[in-house]
Amino acid sequence: MGVKQILLLGNEKLYERSEIVKESELEFIQSTVQDLHDTMMNFRKQYGKGRAIAAPQIGVMKRLLYFSVDNSMVMINPEVTFKSREIFEIWDDCMCFPDLLVKVNRNLSCKVKFRDLNWAEKEIFLEKDMSELFQHEFDHLEGVLAVSKAVDVHSFSLVSERTAH
Ligand SMILES: [Zn+2]
């Protein structure tokens, strides 16, 4: 348990697909969740942002996501069961490239099936902020970064360029 190093853009591991979690790994997953929490809180202290983190971002190549928005939530082996046809455009950020923003399209809403830390199966409907956040984190499990989903060649900006004006 503790603060781990977040892999940064350019690290090849970020482009790998993560493995399905088995029920027998729950103890390891529990301690990884603590690491994800500690690492994200440390990032927040430094950058004043960070709402969710995927296990591969700290080099644990397992299908595990940790969210801390209003409440905290753990998703093990998430699967998308529905995606809305409506999409919206946002300037996305990522803890793997804290100074960069990338314009991407995300589905306005989606439905997700996953397991929780008690291995209970859950399904939830996510909209807007939570929908785009989930899609960003889910992409990490597939080895896909926001930079690979840029809308066009003008879709990259340093954070300072978009907040200083
Ligand atoms: Zn990210």
CA of 146 to the centre of ligand 1 (A): 7
| Backbone angle region of 2, left / alpha / beta, with phi > 0 → left and psi within -120 to 50 → alpha | left
Report yes or no on 3 lying in a domain. Answer: no
Of the chain, the percentage scoring pLDDT greater than 90 comes to 97
Q: Which pTM was predicted?
A: 0.96
Overall domain count for the chain: 1
Whether residue 100 is contained in a domain is answered as yes
Q: 144 C-alpha vs ligand 1 centroid, how far in Å? A: 9
**Which candidate, 94, 92, 54, places its Cα nearest to that of 74?**
54
Is residue 37 in a domain? yes
- How far does residue 165's CA lie from ligand 1's centre (Å)? 25
Kindly report, residue by residue over 77-104, the tens digit of the pLDDT. 999 999 999 999 999 999 999 999 999 9
Residue 163 has a pLDDT of 73
Which pLDDT value is given to residue 146? 97
CATH assignment of the domain containing 125: 3.90.45.10
Of all residues in the chain, the percent with pLDDT exceeding 70 is 98
**Which residues span the domain enclosing 77?**
12-163
Cβ–Cβ < 8 Å for 159, 48: no
How far is the centre of ligand 1, averaged over its atoms, from the C-alpha of 150 (Å)?
Answer: 14
In a domain, 122, yes or no: yes
Residue 59's pLDDT band (boundaries 50, 70, 90)? very high
Task: Please compute the mean of the pLDDT values over residues 148-157 and round it to a whole number.
Answer: 96
| 140 CA to centre of ligand 1 in angstroms | 7
Residue 7 covered by a domain: no
Residue 53 has pLDDT above 70, yes or no: yes
Instruction: Give CA–CA dist 100/160, Å, rounded.
Output: 9
Q: Is residue 5 part of a domain?
A: no
